[in-house]
Structure 1
């Protein structure tokens, strides 16, 4: 499941360097609950996949782009959404930039942060200075057609592994050791930090421990260099796996 697009786009903070999903979720209703429904609702919620931060997703974009920038050898990830806005990820978080008027190319700006794209070159301006960037890699977004029933996919290398989160129930599927081992496990949410784009999932069984950490931020496949919007760390049976991932929206 994914937080609604309106939740993402309606709450771009005025302060600089704030994550895309940095709004406070609507307060829970205080209306009385009819007798006999509370336990049913709690049970249904427990068996439903959680809402993930919007900054894990492409927002309707068809591709992710990787940019290599100077000075300081910084790397960025961008995606142009279906409504003409730009999602921007750095190592420090994620932002959403509305389109701005420009004579040539495509320019996006929110507050003092701007991204001006002219073909395979881009200029990024922040209060800390200016970056000159070049397009390095592009990748088509994961879709439900590619991965049916999956709301988030993470993957890594050496050894090859992947993790898929089911879109409807709190279960994940692991493929480990170059696809020689497959596991399906139930999980619980131990951290859900929408403001900072951070989620931690852990096993529901003490005899089968694992931990999956997801963080919004620029990530690059360590073999291909392909760009992703989420950093993924899996700890399973005493081994730590590092990789990248992306949320997958319904209907994609």
Structure 2
């Protein structure tokens, strides 16, 4: 059965602005990769993978549809992620609390509770968790970082070149690898990176959408799937913008 939020958000698109061009300075950004092995600059990633100017992500558990949402307040705009994608809602005038609305969709935050209104009904949401957004101070020269558990792994994309650092087996194995962009969909917030070398093949799939660390429960704005050495791993991630 289609959930209320899925029906609601199916016709609304996240405002993607050419990837992290909205947050990367010209010296940190780069022209999009065309998949050529001659590329020497990192690609621009969809803005839906980033927190904007927000310093925190908040996770909300909603009923009656058992939806899990993630929000980040970016100035006068609310960035909203569900299991089905990402959206931006501009701030609206309201007597109390903070309300963000785009057409028939609204998110009304009143402390640790929120009301999500849709053309198909309402969702009552409670604040479940929060996490400080990752920064360049914590991860120097990294424009996106994904991670997962059991076994512990991480992938970090360099901000200035098409290469990534892949860490597997709880940190036992660390490799720096070049990649090519095989999919770049700014509107959907989806990116696929891979190595065309069949002898050392890997693929990293990144999709904008609510993701929760399966050990800590911490919220992230992207789901990450890593395929390497014949194995597939799932985790969460976040785009990391330069410090302002």
Normalising by structure 2, what TM-score?
Answer: 0.86
Cα deviations by residue, 1:203-224 (Å, 9 ceiling, x for unpaired)? 1422210000000000000011
Equivalent residue runs for 1:65-76 within 5 Å: 65-76=58-69
Superposed CA deviations along residues 142-186 of structure 1, whole A, max 9, x for unmatched, are 000000000000001111110000000000001111111111110
Distance 2:81 2:118 in 1: 14
Instruction: Name which of 62, 66, 82 aligns with 2:55.
Output: 62
Moved more, 71-80 or 200-209: 200-209
Q: Does 1:218 align with 2:210?
A: yes
Q: Which residue of 2 aligns with 1:11?
A: none
Q: What's the RMSD between the two structures over aligned residues?
A: 2.0
Partner of 1:129: 121
Indicate if the aligned counterparts of 1:156 and 1:162 stay in contact, CA closer than 8 A.
yes
* Contact 1:164 1:173 survives alignment (8 Å): yes
Q: What is the rounded CA distance, in whole Å, between the counterparts of 2:204 and 2:218 in structure 1?
A: 21
Matched, 1:146 2:142: no
1:47 aligns to 2:32 (yes or no): no
2:198 is equivalent to residue 191 of structure 1: no
Aligned match of 2:165: 173
The 2-side partners of 1:17 and 1:229 are apart by: 20
Structure-2 separation of matches of 1:68 and 1:23:
29
CA apart distance, 1:84: 2.1
User: Structure 1 residue 232 and structure 2 residue 206: aligned?
Assistant: no
- Distance apart, 1:17 and its partner CA: 3.7
Matched-pair contact (CA < 8 Å) for 1:66–1:135? yes
User: Structure 1: which 5+ runs fail to align?
Assistant: 1-14, 26-41
Could you report, residue by residue, the CA deviation over 1:112-132 in whole angstroms, capped at 9, with x for unpaired residues?
A: 110000000000011221100
**Residues matched between the structures, number:** 221
Query: What is the aligned partner in structure 1 of residue 70 from structure 2?
Result: 77
SS across alignment from 2:171:
coil
Taking structure 1 as the reference length, what is the TM-score of the superposition?
0.84
